[in-house]
Amino acid sequence: MKAGLLTLAALSAVAVAQPAHNHRHRHAKKDAAYVTDVEYVTATAQGPVVYVDGNGNPISTSYPAAAAPTVAAAAYSAPAPVAPAPSPETSAYVAPSSAAAPPPPAYTAPAASSAPAYSAPASSSAAAPASSPDVSSSGHGITYSPYKGDGTCKSADEVTKDFGGINGYSIVRIYGTDCNQVANVLSAASAKSMKVFAGIYNINNVAAEAQLIIDAAKSNWGIIDTVSVGNEGVNSGQYTVDQVAGAVSSAKSILSGAGYSGPVVTVDTFVAIIANPGLCNVGDYVAANCHAFFDSSKTADEAGAFVLSQVQRVSAACGGKKTVITESGWPSAGSANGAVVPSPANQQAAVSSIKSAFSSNIFLFTAYNDYWKKDNAGTFGAEHHYGILGDCPSG
């Protein structure tokens, strides 16, 4: 009689989870690893003959008329899980939850945490007209929305009161034309020697919104630095690049016919621009939103270096074209996103980091807390709390 070897092997299983996020992002995935356990059991059976080669390796087995032996294997006990090896750092920027955005190219961290202040490339394939004031000469900007907590419009006096608390910024960005905001903001901004980055929000209503900007400007185009058409429309999946390009072209034609000679651009996320390089050619310069808060591996003091690295990626993807960050901020309250923690101290650290990394071509998001906004699963309960200056003076 011969003795046979029976080998039992336990197979490992790997579970992978990768949640997604709003404003703008993607979480690094973690893998669970298990050890494979091998146990040898020897059993004796009647009749079989195992033929082996010179090295003892089985070649074949023959059985007589009796049934082949059965072997009782020892009960398998799953080994304790072991910690996986650390995975390399990747960008965790998640696209808005309102639509699936193209996955971002792999993020490469900047070589040093302290980045030099960003200056736009000197040349561009679609440079802004020389007669228009340039964002690069305006220093830091800030965004503002003229809505009350219940979403209704603020009056001209309330907008003026809000602007009384905005100091140290030389340009303000608004997003649309409703609530008579263009006229109200132009008046409040000019009183503080600030320029305005105006916006046409609905690309399907370009003619009407462009006319509201024309009427509010009253031919005083010197105060308007830039006009944007749309905000994150490609990233959200709402519009195609061609649709946005057509809207920008239409707006530029209407505005130039009224005497405006400044830049006209579209705004989208840095992720969408890199994934859709056709956006590079849509406006007079590249305008991108970028929030370090939605990269779960970045701490507040790394915000400036992170945003700067994305500017460099966008500019490289767009052939060195001038790139302006039209939103970048950090909330003072909400839920943590990995290593990212919203708090007043972290907001202050992030804003300081961003200002240190950029001497110009940056809009901080946002002036005051926007209680009219709605949170969702991807905003970490933070949508109301991006106000760098806290709550609005006008209430």
Rounding to the nearest 10 degrees, give the CA dihedral for residues 315, 321, 322, 326. -60
| DSSP summary character for residue 26 | B
For residues 57 and 55, what is the distance between their CA atoms, to the nearest angstrom? 6
Which pairing describes strands 49-52 and 58-62: parallel, antiparallel, or unpaired? antiparallel
Report helix, strand or coil for 217.
helix
Task: Please say if 327 is a catalytic residue.
Answer: yes
Q: Scan for tokens 């034609």, then name that residue.
A: 253
- Continuous segment of H or E residues that includes residue 141: strand 140-143
**Residue 326, Cβ density class (10 Å: 0-12 exposed, 13-18 middle, ≥19 buried):** buried
List 209, 232, 327, 383, catalytic entry:
327
Give residue 169's identity as a one-letter amino acid code. Answer: Y
Q: Rounded to 5 degrees, what are φ and ψ at 189?
A: -70, -40
For residues 203 and 200, what is the distance between their CA atoms, to the nearest angstrom? 7
Angular region, 319: left φ>0, alpha ψ -120 to 50, beta rest: left
Neighbours of 18 (CB within 10 A): 11
Which pairing describes strands 224-231 and 264-269: parallel, antiparallel, or unpaired? parallel
Q: What is the CA radius of gyration of the chain?
A: 30
For residues 297 and 352, what is the distance between their CA atoms, to the nearest angstrom? 19
Residues classed as catalytic: 327
